[in-house]
Structure formats: structure tokens, C-alpha cells
Amino acid sequence: MTNPLIASAAFNFEITIDGLNLGAISEVSEFKMELETKPLATKIGRQLVITHQVTGVKPAAEITITRPLQNLDLFNWYSSCLASGPSAAYKHGSLKYHDAGYTKVIAEWTFANSYPKSYAQTGAKVESGGHTMEKITIVFMDLTVVGG
């Protein structure tokens, strides 16, 4: 039997965390990663100074996902992070973007050393099919584009 949430064109994203498929996602925030650079001046001779931009420490990035509440897996991950701290709750995962028919993966991203930064549940909304929605912000240290 086809899952009506997955079959809906509104849920083209799928998330997997530590090998556990957590189902369809209705909304994904932008991925934003920035590379910090710092100026480094090098003096050549008595008067010539050349300034180079060198990379600093790669900062963490984050993504926020929204999905219908299907189980408590994301909440439990957030709770374990609260209890033990972010580094104890690090997980790896992937995010896949499917075509409207859910037959082809258009793009896939994997993230590593991630932990939940915030978690929220909403009340049921008519436009979301009457489902209670959950929203989680995931901080990750590394992102790889697998396909697309």
C-alpha cells in the first residue's frame, strides 16, 4: 500500500538519519555554508606587501526541515541531545529530493556530525492535510552533494 504522505507531490523530500528512513519532508530551508577567510600579509623586500586570503576554521551550517508528525524519532534525538550534549548525539544522514512521481531521485545530500539545535511541533493545519507538523533545525559539520 502506498503511503499517502509520500505519494503526495507536496512531500518530495525524504530524510534518513543513521540508516533509519524518517519519511517524507514537506519543507526544507536553504542550505547555507560559508567559508571564512582571513587576510594574511606577506612582506617581500623592504616595501612590497602582498596580502593573501587564507581559509579559517570551517564553521558549522544548519538546515531546518518540516514534516508531518509520523513518529517520535526526531523528538527522541533532540531529547538525547538535551540530556547528553550535542557531541554525544552526533549522527550522519542524507536528504533526497524526488521528482513529483517519487520515482527518481533528483538530488541527494549527505551530512555528517550533525545534531538537533531546536525542535517544535505545530497544531494541525488544513493546508497540511490536518496533520500535526514537526520542525527540527539540524546543525551539521560537513555536507556533501551526492547526486543531482
pLDDT digits (tens, 9 = 90+) for 57-69: 666 788 888 888 8
3 pLDDT higher than 50: no
- pLDDT tens string 89-130: 899 988 888 888 888 888 888 888 899 999 998 876 566 566
Quote the percentage of the chain above a pLDDT of 90: 9
Sequence-distant (6+) residues with CB within 8 A of 25 are 11, 13, 14, 15, 65, 66, 67, 95
- 65-97 in b/e form (b: 16+ CB < 10 A) is bbbbeeeebbeebbeebeeeeeeebebebbbbb
Give the per-residue pLDDT at 19. 85
C-alpha cell at 92: 550522519
Mean pLDDT of 52-78: 82
**pLDDT average, residue stretch 26-43:** 77
How confident is the prediction for the chain on average, in pLDDT?
79
Is the Cβ–Cβ distance between 68 and 128 less than 8 Å?
Answer: yes
Confidence of residue 78 (pLDDT cuts 50, 70, 90): very high
pTM of the predicted protein model: 0.70
Beta strands in 1-141 (DSSP E): 13-17, 20-25, 27-28, 37-44, 48-55, 61-68, 91-98, 105-124, 132-140
Exposed, middle or buried, 28 (CB in 10 Å: 0-12/13-18/19+)? Answer: middle
**Residues sharing a CB contact under 8 Å with residue 72, sequence separation 6 or more, in sequence order:** none
pLDDT of residue 62: 86
Strand, coil or helix: 1? coil
